[in-house]
Structure 1
């Protein structure tokens, strides 16, 4: 990347955010709409789409390797464009495979495996290089706002795609599913292409001495205390974050007797809290200059708040209908959004802390931890719920078990967060600035 270019303004940040919007559009159609078609229209076991989605997360373990490739080439743009092309191809093939399952189940399943592997690989290549490029081209003070904005734009991609595609998919037919998926994939690729072209500047090739093979480069990054600790934190915190996903709506329906429409609206309230938390971090992070120490405080506060809300939900069934369920879901979403946005902003601040030329490997390591945690979190939540039901003999006991276990994960994440960025250059600069300011005040 050309370091002589000025930092991106808000328009440039929005342009990169459009790549995340495009990425989210393909992913949500592949992992949500096709999931429903397999289970409802084709009457297949829910385990099948579950395994396919898990495959899409598992292949993202390659993120460090993909990031290393962009490090060695000195360019992020080709990896973003190439990743979006692979993602779009995977999205189309996944729709073809799903439609094919109606007439040839085995052949459709085999193609679906290939398609979901392509989806995961495309997400890993495009997403990793996008975040590295964003971190490199955005001034440190704007990174918290940029991180929140990019993730909000991804959620906007989810919302827009599901709203439009939902109308176009009715009445369902295999050819219609393939046509809608192909249209979304092509439009997403073109949007990403227009958004990213020309934004990186002239290439800067890595010097011959810097062309280290991948495994030694990965070992170097893992040996960095700041990067290693943050990777572990990302895994634990995102495991806690994703373990709630498949639990909250069924909890409201089973324990409080809510209808499907009521629990869906409750889920919307929670997602509204997530967005509010992200916006809050964007504002606070910008006002405080994006310092890691400030972001760390919000991460800890978000994790502790989420743990407290989950513990409260564990006791909600005892309180009965008087329990403020909607308010609790909103505050839980607020805590999740705040800690997640602060963690993403910290990720962008820390990706350059360490040996130069390893940003892609570092971001890939963070992203791989997040993907593995997301893939395992939903499954872990349902497994603990079923074990809790079995041991307690009641659905209520199962939900108490899973909420308390998830609260424990958030507490562990808060403890790990205490050391985020300790010893990094960003942290040292922040501490030095505070000391300088105090010295001036004393004088």
Structure 2
């Protein structure tokens, strides 16, 4: 009976994340490909757009603290997860027409795009902090590795499914088929989040809420600027917080510099069609699923630390990216799929190890604050990755300074180096030392915030 309850809980937590997987996949394998390669938009504008919502990730710290402090009907996570998912999904219905405007280099369309993606970023910051906090609060440390593996497998599967649906509905770009594809988003997101999250969280009483917030200041509102001061104070005082933040930032950059330009790479270097480049998402997604399956089996047999899992995964990602760099520089199309599979295997291992560590790097009563802090590092890493990759494309390739093969090869090589550096930082992180230092640091930071 206990095993059945665990399975149902894990499945429902996974359903909660299906919508996010679908939305992010559409942005990073379809919207980027269509606007850059098919419609001729400036790459730096498109990738900055895709990365914009990540730069708003400081809202994750605010939303995390906000949901800690302000339950709705005794629920600190569920209402925020539902509202943020549905709100973000509705934005996708406007993106196909925005893509056409970007291709025409329209200033109005560009401003509209930045406004919509900014709103998307605020909503997804709320979604990320509240859903991660919910996962951390309804699972035990013993359960967490398996739960995280299953959730991320589901997210990746949703991305693979969206790529498959895209290949069927839109093998080649047309405005009508793109609009139909994107109109599916609110339906898919709403159904999956409601099935996943309703009834999962146990309401807390006002007394329980006060006990959880015993270290939190009661004076004033915890606005974004106040929350940001708390976060920066924690990073300044605690080397473990600072080191883990930097690790997450660099590792995410190391994974996602390729994300917004991978499909244009296939189009510009090898002349592949949309249905062919959509298969890239399926290739690395399959590798990630295999990596999660393998580590799930091994973890059930051997006591493998989360740090070791993240380390091996990060080195696998670096190896796959190095192979992609070689494929670009030598124009060897046959290397792409093996490289993506190896990169995917590494991503699968890394996601399980790193996210489980993120959930361990929290303290009771302030889970939302710390998950928001780590989410902010993820968001900034993604944002910088998108802007840098698009800027590199525009400066090197669109300007004619470098060939597409050389430009893409350089970006993939830089990614591999960033991941290696991140893994070096990870080796100095200790969850036990973090737990010992952070309670006093948090009390001091919150006290300073109240005094100001």
Asked if these proteins are the same fold (TM beyond 0.5), I'd say yes
CA distance in 2: counterparts of 1:324 and 1:179, whole angstroms: 34
Which of 371, 380, 387 in structure 1 is aligned with 2:388? 380
* Residues 1:57 and 2:54 are matched in the alignment: yes
CA deviation map 1:54-86 (0-9, x unaligned): 222222231111111111125111211121132
Give the conservation status (yes or no) of the 8 Å contact 1:243–1:380: yes
**Greater length-normalized contact order (CA 8 Å, ≥ 6 residues apart):** 2
Aligned to 2:342: 331
* Residues 1:415 and 2:424 are matched in the alignment: yes
* Residues 1:13 and 2:14 are matched in the alignment: no
* Residues 1:406 and 2:407 are matched in the alignment: no
Aligned to 2:287: 273
CA distance in 2: counterparts of 1:185 and 1:22, whole angstroms: 9
Structure 1: tracts of 5 or more residues without a match: 429-443
CA distance in 2: counterparts of 1:28 and 1:336, whole angstroms: 15
Which of 204, 218, 228 in structure 1 is aligned with 2:231? 218
Which of 233, 248, 251 in structure 1 is aligned with 2:247? 233
Give the conservation status (yes or no) of the 8 Å contact 2:283–2:337: yes
Give the conservation status (yes or no) of the 8 Å contact 1:387–1:398: no
> How far did residue 264 of structure 1 move?
6.2
> How far did residue 346 of structure 1 move?
1.4
> How far did residue 139 of structure 1 move?
1.9
> How far did residue 347 of structure 1 move?
1.3
Q: TM-score, normalised by structure 1?
A: 0.77
Aligned to 1:157: 158
The count of corresponding residues between Structure 1 and Structure 2 is 417
Segment of structure 1 superposing worse, 244-253 or 218-227: 244-253
> How far did residue 312 of structure 1 move?
5.8
Give the conservation status (yes or no) of the 8 Å contact 1:67–1:364: yes
Distance 1:99 1:340, change over 3 A: same
Aligned to 1:431: none
> How far did residue 45 of structure 1 move?
3.5
Structure 2: tracts of 5 or more residues without a match: 438-452
* Residues 1:78 and 2:79 are matched in the alignment: yes
Aligned to 2:192: 191
Q: TM-score, normalised by structure 2?
A: 0.76
Aligned to 2:114: 113
Aligned positions of 1:163-312 closer than 5 A = 163-164=164-165, 167-168=168-169, 180-205=181-206, 206-207=209-210, 209-212=214-217, 213=222, 214-215=227-228, 217-219=230-232, 221-222=234-235, 223-245=237-259, 268-287=282-301, 294-311=305-322
> How far did residue 142 of structure 1 move?
2.1
Give the conservation status (yes or no) of the 8 Å contact 1:13–1:134: no
Give the conservation status (yes or no) of the 8 Å contact 1:145–1:281: no
> How far did residue 407 of structure 1 move?
2.9
Segment of structure 1 superposing worse, 142-151 or 302-311: 302-311
CA deviation map 1:100-156 (0-9, x unaligned): 779994544433322212221221111221111111111212212211211121122
CA deviation map 1:149-206 (0-9, x unaligned): 1112112222333433554568977677556534421331232123211111112543
Q: CA RMSD in A?
A: 4.1
> How far did residue 225 of structure 1 move?
3.6
> How far did residue 41 of structure 1 move?
6.8
Distance 1:142 1:258, change over 3 A: farther
User: The residue matched to 1:9 in structure 2 has which SS?
Assistant: helix
Give the conservation status (yes or no) of the 8 Å contact 2:36–2:264: no
Aligned to 1:437: none
* Residues 1:364 and 2:372 are matched in the alignment: yes
